[in-house]
Every structure is written in C-alpha cells, then in structure tokens.
Structure 1
Amino acid sequence: MSGHPSCRRFSEEEIVRIKDMNKAGIAPRQILSSLRQNNPNLLAVSRTLYNVKAKIRKDSLGGRTMIQALMDELDENGFKYSVEHDCEGHLTHLFFTYPISIALTKSYSTVFVMDCTYKTNKYKMPLLDIIGVSSFNSCFYSCFAFLQKEGEKDYIWALSMFRNLLGVSCQPSVIVCDKEFTLINAIKVVFPSTTNLLCVWHIEKNIVAKCKSHFEEGEDWDTFLSNWTCVRNSVSESKYHEALQYFESRYKEKGVLLNYIRSTWLPLKELFVVAWIEKCIHFGNHATSRAEGAHGILKKYLQVSTGDLSMVKDRICLAIKNQFQEIKAQLSSEKINVPRHFKIPLFKDLVTYVSVFALEELFKQYKKSKFDIELLACKGHFSATMGLPCSHKIRSLESEVLDLVDINQQWRLDMRSFSEYET
C-alpha cells in the first residue's frame, strides 16, 4: 500500500501538528518520528512531509512574493528594519532586529561583538551578526544584517542602521571584531569615538598558520609563542617596547617572519596589546568567540543553508525568544537567590542587586585583598576594564562594605526587569 501516494497522505490532525512543529523549528526527521509514535501505521515518507511543508509555505505567502511576505511580517510583528534595493528592484541589504532584542540592546549598550557568518540562506548573502553581553556575562542577539557583499560601504550602511537603533545617548564604548579591514574602517566612520578591539584568538590562529613552518623543533616554536605572548601582554608602553626589542633581536635571522609580524600586526598594536586595550571598559571581551558560538547556535536553528530570507528570519526569532527567556528567568532568579559564600559584610549592599558573575569577580578580588600579604602595584586595569572595585580598593575600604555606586551599570540587576516584554 505504501507504493500508492494516496495512502501516504497525512490526516488533517497530522497536518495541524506538522504546522505547529514546523513553526517551532523542529527538523523534518524528528517531525516524522513524532508522527509515527502516535500512528505506528503511518505510511508517509520524507518526500510526503516536504511536499506538505512546501504547501504550507505557499499558502502562507497568499499570492505574495517572498520579499513582500517578509516585509509584511516584519511590519506586523513590530520589527525595526531597513532595506536597500538595486536599480532593478532586487533586495541587496536587509537590517532587522526583534522588539525584545531592542530592549536588551539598549539596556546593555556598552560592548558588542561583530562578525559575519555564511551559509545561512539560499541567496548566499553574508549575515552580519551583532552580539551583545548581558549582566550574567552571557551573550544575546542584538540585530542582524543581510549584506550584498562584505565591502566597506555595505558595513557602513549596516552600522549606520545600528547606530540609529541605539540612539544618540547609547553609543557603544567597545566593538570587538576580526582583522577585517572593511569592517574596521566602517567602525571608524560610523562610531569614531568607540574603541575597536581585535580578536586575540584569531591573531594567535593567524600567527600559528604563518609562522610555525619557520621552526623545526617544537620547543623552539613554544619559545617563540611565549615571547610573542610577552609582547602582546605588555602592561605599559615602555614594557611593550622592551618586549618587542627583545623579540626582534631574538628572531632577527628570521627576516620573513619578522616582516610578517611588523607589517601585519604591529601597526594594529593599539587594538590588541594589553597596554592599550586594558584602558577601556570591555568587561573581559577581547575575542569574537561569543560571535562564533552564537553562529553555531543559530545554524542549529536554521538546520539548512538553503532557506529563503523569511524562513531564516523565523528561525532567528525562535533563537532570540529562547535566549531572551533564559536571560529574563536568570534576572528574576538572581534577584531572590543568593549563593551562601556571598553572605559576607562586604557584599551586604550588593546581593540581589548585582549579578552573580560580577559578585564572583569581586569575591576573587576580596580574597586577594584578604590573603595576599603584599599586593602587586595597582595598575588600574581590573577596574578600568570590568567596572568593578579591585583588590586595592577593597583593602582600603574603611567601612568594609562596597557601595552600589562603585558597580558599573552593566552588572546591576536592580536597574532592569524586562517584565513588560513577552515572548
């Protein structure tokens, strides 16, 4: 009987279930497995399911083109979006953000990570993913932009839309990205007062790819990496020049290697060397690993790389809603639950008002101030980058109680709720 297409049809109830599961982003094979659990005699195959999904999609368009339907959906659901078309009327750029993402973006507007991801849609348009950082040191999707290509003008357009979304009073302090000069130049144009940091992980990865072949023994290579790390971790400009001078004298015979370092990375030293980046408030973000992780999660929702823009938008919304609910639940939980080791006089005015992540960082500084007999000279890096009191400040407290005013708004729970936003 399974050879007859008419016997492989789904019932009306099964089609309703397919619509619901498809809307929830459940993979086709899992939909079929679920249907077979309820109906062991089901004769439908994967092609039957794909045909039903195609019909559902066609019905949802209602005679509109995919782009027309997408624009209508964005309007109906309160999205903030902007589009660009070419002279023939074809869509070339699409910037959009979900309403709850706007709330998160404006609440956490200090640090953002930017990176493009690929293989997300059948048009092969690069997707610029802008990631924010919450009070709990977790990331969230801020906004997205489908671009025609990764040119400077494309990035300037997308970042200009992002700037308009934030408003004049919420300009970011730090943007982290890879060594992509078109994006770096666009950041300079659109956010001239924002500090741009380069991903240190990608720098190390590039150096391994370009330099490791110049060494035969593993020990020599390890020594080279250690010396380079000393250059990158220089805590002051004078220390940087000392470390660089030693590095260049040590490897003066490897001219090709030194020329690569000098021409590629040293001109960008202000974007990744500790002496410069530890002067800005980046909350510990100096790599694009957050964006890489967000890309991975997003592609699990997408499942395929051949969906149209409307389908990609729907799956992105699923990811955003689940992410937002996690943040909202954690915010509520940390306002009422206090880990036992934080019940000390120092944190009396902070617990339930400051995130657990920030309290953990403060607790580490507290232990240093209490148990380290001699603290190293304070360079101000911790407070400057994290927005939290350092061990020196804690040791000097007369009241032995930290005040909320000493805590950067990034870590404050009492200043946000998101209760008015429903997913």
Structure 2
Amino acid sequence: MTEDDDQELFSRKFQTREELLDEVKKFNESRGYVVSIKDSRKDRYVTLGCDRGGVYRDRRKTLITSQDRETSTRLIDCPFRIRGKKQEDGVWSLQLQNSSHNHEPCVDLCGHPTSRRLTKEESLDVEKMSMSGIQPRQILSSLRQKNPSLKAVSRTIYNMKSKIRTDKLDGRSMIKALFDELGHGGFTYNYKHDDGGHLTHVFFSHPKSISLTKSFPTVFVMDCTYKTNKYKMPLLDIIGVSSFNKSFYSCFAFLEKEREQDYIWALQMFSNMKGHSSDDLVIVTDRELALMNAIRVVFPRAKHILCVWHIQKNVLSKCKGYFNKENWDDFVSAWNTIVYAKTKEAYDKAWDSFRVLYMEKKDVIDYIRSSWIPYKERFGSAWTEKYAHFGNRASSRAEGAHAKLKGYLLVSTGDFRQVRDKISLAIDNEYQEIKTLLETERIRIPHK
C-alpha cells in the first residue's frame, strides 16, 4: 500500500458507521494489521486502534506462584489510532490520530481473535444451522464452502452458539425462558420443585405429540433414558404406536429419581394429557418395579405387558451358567414353551413339565419361580394375546427412540431448553413422516 492509498481512504465519506468499520478493517488487514474498536459513542464517533494496543492487566490481584499456569498476552501498547466521526450532514469521515505501529505486520492474521469473527450473514447461518441440529464442525465446513478465506475455528462456532443462547434468554433465567417458550409454543407442561425452590420434575408434550397421542391412544411403551442433560436427571420417554406400526414420541418427563412417587407424578401428567379412558390402554415396560407400581396406581384398568426381550436377557444372564452348550438350547426351548403357550391349560402343563425336567437345577427353578412366575399374566401369551397390543410385546421401540433422540442431542451436557429444542426437531420430523404415510394411503387405490 502507498501513501496515495492512505489519502484515498481518509478522504472518503461513509454513509453508515458499519460501512466505515468494514472499509477500515479491510484496508488494515491488507497491510498485515488488525484493528478493533477501542471507544465509541452511538451516532457520534468511534475510535479504532490496533488490536495489540493496550497493556496486560492482572485481574487476579494475587501473587504468582510456581503452581500457576504460564500465561501470555498479545498486548504491547501499540499506539496506532484512527477516529471516525459523524458529520452534521449524517455521513462519516475518518481522521488519522497515530499512524505508527510498534511491531511488524503479520503474514497471516488467523492468530488475531478479531480476524476470526463472523459477519452478520455468517452469524445468521450459524443460528439457522444450529436450530437444525447440525454439529459445529459441519457448520464450520459449510461456512468455509461459502468463504474459503474464512479464519474462524471450531471455538468460534461454539462461542457464537453460546452467544445465541444468551441472547434468546433476554435477561431471563433458563427455567423462566423454558416455561415461557413452552407456554407460547402450545406445549402441555407441568413441573415440581422442592422446599428450597430447586426444580425436581419437568413434564412436557409437544403439540404434535399431543395430536398423535389422541389419534393413537392404545399402545404405549415406557422407559427411562440417561445422559441427556447436564443435571444428570433420568428422562422418562413415553413412546406411542401409530396405525402404520410406526413409533412416535408422546411425552417426556425429567425426574428427580426413579422412585414410585416420581413415576406416579409423571404418569398422572400423561393421563391428564392423554384424556382417553384407560380401559383399552396397553402399556409395555421392562421389569422396573417402581414404574410397575406407579402404573397400577394411575392406570388400574390398563393392560400392562412386560418386555419379553428383557425377560429373555435376564434369564440368559442368570441361568446360562448352570448349563453346558449342548443342553442350553433345550432349556431355552422349554422356557419359550412356557412364555408362548396359547392357553392357560397349555401354560400350566408347560410349567409342570419344566419343573420336573429341571428339578435338579434348584437355583434355576427358584429364580424363575420368584422372579418371573408372579408376573406370568404380564408376559405369558395365554394372557397377553387377549390384549390389543398389535404385536408390541417388547420395549425395543423405546430403545430405538432413545437412540434416535441421542442422535439429535449429540451431547449429554445440555440444559432443559437445549434438550427441549432437539426433541422438538425429532418430533417435527417423525410427525411429517406419519402424516406423509397417512396421506399416501388415502390416495392409493387397490388393483383388485
């Protein structure tokens, strides 16, 4: 750059403050220097200086010990200064106050934090992609495709996401903002807190989930999942089944613990939201005793089925050690004869034969008798095939729903608002899939 370039820049007039800032930054970056705002007053003036201006200030006010980590600073009190001022006619002009730098220009500016800042357009792109659940590294790759000279790094994206979250709070606490957004978004929600005012339970259901729940109110799978939030609270996930045999998220409840009273509160909220009679309700769970007791309290007339897959896994882990490879398959076959007996008479006959056949395996018989036989009416085909469960005798739907949810969450350190936002993305997508299936079936005509 030459002196003529300097004179041209300082003789120019700028229509807006933003135009002035943009041109000054571009001009100095082309010369190997980075400038930042040092002082400003709205619609009056703005002072720009080298980003290496100023001196380090020790805010800790403590003595440095050998155990402290080594620190450094880029500030070397560079004297460079430019002042922009708004004239009476509304345009902005520049005045050079100090043109000297006390350091050499940089060959590459990516080491300067100011050069890594995003433009307004890029910041909007980050916000849109974050709302779509795109990971920061993918956001960064997308921005670089648009701007190959982009100097931002992954930390830039994380900082921008944090700023977006803070801006959305608008001075509110996270909990206040959460409930405001739930209310304005048409969610059904409720919460509990302890005597100290700490939030202990949060229940919520998306408007689209409510619609699906009322449309398909018969079969629901219930299970807790973990590592979804930074508070380490278990998340009760209630999964519904549509007429296309497709799962959908019905509602969610963050619980303080997995106790019977916690489950009772969540199920009462689900019952209020669901609104239908529980006479035809079929609920599938694993053998979580606290949840089973809560179902009996809240839905005494519902048909409760225990997951046969979890039962098989438990029987495998407890009993396989008593058998060798040759007779293990015979044991599994005998046990399946009990589980899938079509009538009560066939069940009784299979159980009697089982006890006689393995009478020498006292520990095995005692385990089966104490752990599973008391719940025979909740997993045996002789009883469960009388219910309209539409083939749902396992909680694998919940496992799949948990996996899908974790795919949206990506991390387990989000707060309630972040988790709610990611859940809403998953619900929007599955709602559209079910709606598409429904409309597709309406326009199909049989060949015969």
What is the TM-score of this pair, normalised by structure 1?
A: 0.79
Distance across 2 between alignment mates of 1:337 and 1:42: 50
Among 412, 426, 431, the alignment partner of 1:305 is: 412
Q: What residue identity is the alignment partner of 1:292?
A: E
What does residue range 393-404 of structure 1 map to in structure 2 within 5 Å?
A: none
* Distance in 1 between residues matched to 2:424 and 2:401, nearest whole Å: 13
Count of residues in Structure 1 that have an aligned counterpart in Structure 2? 340
Partner residue, 1:17:
125
Query: 2:180 maps to what in 1?
Result: 72
List per-residue Cα deviations over 1:14-72 (Å, max 9, x = no partner): 00000000111111111111111111111111111111111111111111111011011
The aligned runs of 1:83-98 (5 Å cut-off) are: 83-98=191-206
Equivalent residues in 2 for 1:118-197, closer than 5 Å: 118-169=226-277, 172-197=280-305
1:352-371 CA deviation, whole Å, 9 max, x = no partner? Answer: xxxxxxxxxxxxxxxxxxxx
Q: CA RMSD in A?
A: 1.1
- How much does 1:219 deviate? 2.3
- Larger Cα-atom Rg: 2
One-letter code aligned to 2:202: L
Pick one of 342, 351, 355 that aligns with 1:244. 351
Q: Tell me, yes or no, if the aligned pair for 2:278 and 2:301 is still in contact at 8 Å.
A: no
Q: CA deviation at 1:235?
A: 0.8
- Does structure 2 conserve the Cα–Cα contact (< 8 Å) formed by 1:110 and 1:171? no
Matches within 5 A, 1:24-423: 24-169=132-277, 172-216=280-324, 218-338=325-445, 343-344=447-448
TM-fit CA distance, 1:170: 6.2
- TM-score normalised over the length of structure 2: 0.75
Quick check: which one's helix share is greater?
Answer: 1
Runs of 4+ off more than 6 Å: none
Instruction: Tell me, in whole angstroms, the C-alpha distance in 2 between the residues paired with 1:4 and 1:222.
Output: 68
Runs of 5+ consecutive residues of structure 1 not aligned to the other structure: 345-423
Q: Which amino acid aligns with 2:306?
A: L
Q: Distance in 1 between matches of 2:404 and 2:436?
A: 20
Aligned AA (1:255): K
Conservation of the 8 A alpha-carbon contact between 2:278 and 2:302: no
One-letter code of the match for 1:343? H
Secondary structure of the 2:333 match is helix
> Residues 124-156 of structure 1: CA distance to partner in whole angstroms, max 9, x if unpaired?
111111111111000100111010010000000
Q: Which amino acid aligns with 1:284?
A: G
Query: More relative contact order in 1 or in 2 (CA 8 Å, sep 6+)?
Result: 1
- Whether the aligned pair in 1 keeps the contact of 2:278 and 2:299 (CA below 8 Å) is no
| Higher strand content, 1 or 2 | 2
- Residue equivalent to 1:407: none
- Consecutive unaligned residues of structure 2, counting only runs of 5 or more, are 1-108
Deviations 1:357-392 (A, max 9, x none): xxxxxxxxxxxxxxxxxxxxxxxxxxxxxxxxxxxx
